[in-house]
Amino acid sequence: MWLKNNKMNKHNEMELSIVQNEAVAPSIPSVKLKGVGDGFLVTINPAIPEEEIYKELSDLFGRLKHLTVNAKVVIDIGNIEGYDALVNNIKLLLKSKFDVGSITRLNQKSSSNSVSGFDGQHNIENNIRANNNKGWINERSDALILTGRVRSGQKIDTKGHLVIAGNVNPGAELTAGGNIIVLGSLLAPVYAGYPDDDEAFVMALDFRPPNIQIGGVVSMEINSELSGKIVYATVKDNKIITEDYIKTQPFGKIPWPTIM
C-alpha cells in the first residue's frame, strides 16, 4: 500500500512540475517597434496569429500619436519568403488608421533575423540609418510661411500651420488650423488648432498676445513673467499653459525629425 501511494505521489509531482514549467515558459513577442532615423523598424513574428499582430501594431502605433504621420516604416519578417498578404494588410492598417508615409519590406538578403528571435537587429538598424542619412525628403508641406510685419487690421487665416518671420502688431489677427510660430513679437490675438485641435501649439520669440485660443480652449490671462521671452503655449488638462521655451526644450524630447 505504501509503495502504491508513493508511486502516485511521484506521478502527481511529475504532473505538477510539467504544468509549472509550461506556466513560466517565455512567450515569443509578435511585434517589436523601434524608431530608426526618421521612421520605424517593425519586426514581426509571422508564426503568431494575424489578429494578434494587428492588435499589437494598433496598440504600439496608437501610443505614438502624431509621430506616425508621414513616417517611414520598414517591415522585417526575417529570411522567410511569402507573407505578401500579411504585409499588404499591415500596410492598409497603418496607412488608413495612422496616416504613415512609405511602407517597405526589409530586403530579405540583408536580414539575418530568425522568426523565433530578433537577432541581427543592429545590422538592420545601421542599414536603415545609412539610407535615411542620405538626405531629408519633404513629401508634404502644410505650412504657410510669411516674412515681414503683420500690421493692425490685417487678418491671416490658413488651414495648415502658420510661420511668420516678423512682428505681429496689435490689432492684427492670426488663425491657423495647425501650429502658429512667430519669429518676432506677437502682440495680437491668435487662434491655433482651429477649430478643435487641442494638440496644436503657439510659439513666439516675444510672446505678448492679449488673448490666445488653442482648439476649444481660450485663455485671457498671459503670464506676465514670461514677457520678452521665447514662449511655448500648449493645452494641458483643458488649460492653456505657457512655458519658457529655453527651459523646457519641448522639441528636444522628439528623438528624430518629424513633419508637422
**Region 121-140: what's the mean pLDDT?**
47
Q: Residue 31: exposed, middle, or buried by beta-carbon count in 10 A (0-12, 13-18, 19+)?
A: buried
Confidence band, pLDDT 50/70/90 cuts, at residue 69 = confident
The yes-or-no verdict on residue 10 having pLDDT over 70 is no
User: Which grid coordinates are listed for 102?
Assistant: 512609405
User: Which of the four pLDDT bands, split at 50, 70 and 90, describes residue 17?
Assistant: very low
When pLDDT is averaged across residues 99-112 and rounded to a whole number, the result is: 68
* Residue 91 reports pLDDT greater than 60: yes
34-43, 74-83, 96-105, 191-200 — most confident range:
191-200
Residue 148 is predicted with a pLDDT of 93
Right CATH for 143-253 from 2.130.10.10, 3.20.20.10, 3.20.20.70, 2.160.20.70? 2.160.20.70
pLDDT, position 238: 92
The predicted pLDDT at position 45 comes to 87
Q: Is 181 helix (H, G, I), strand (E, B) or coil?
A: strand
Query: Sorting pLDDT into bands at 50, 70 and 90, what band is 81?
Result: confident
Chain segment 138-187, per-residue pLDDT in tens: 445 578 999 999 999 999 999 999 999 999 999 999 999 999 999 999 99
Residues 6+ apart with CB under 8 A from 123: 110, 112
Q: State residue 62's pLDDT score.
A: 85
Q: What is the per-residue pLDDT for 257?
A: 64
Strand order in 161-165's β-sheet? 143-147, 161-165, 180-186, 202-207, 231-236, 239-244
What per-residue confidence (pLDDT) applies to 225?
A: 80
Q: How far is CA 217 from CA 110, 196, 199, 208, in A?
A: 50, 9, 11, 18
Instruction: Name the pTM for this structure.
Output: 0.50
What is the band of 199 on the pLDDT scale with cuts at 50, 70, 90? very high
Burial 72-84 (b: 16+ CB within 10 A, else e): bbbbbbbeeeebe
Query: In this structure, are strands 190-192 and 212-214 parallel, antiparallel, or unpaired?
Result: parallel
Could you tell me which residues come within 8 angstroms of residue 114 by beta carbon, excluding any fewer than 6 positions away? 78, 79
What pLDDT sits at residue 38? 65
| C-alpha grid cell, residue 117 | 528571435
Please tell me which residue, 159 or 255, carries the higher pLDDT value.
Answer: 159
> Mind listing the pLDDT tens digit for each residue in 207-244?
999 999 999 999 877 777 887 789 999 999 999 999 99
Mean pLDDT of 93-122: 63
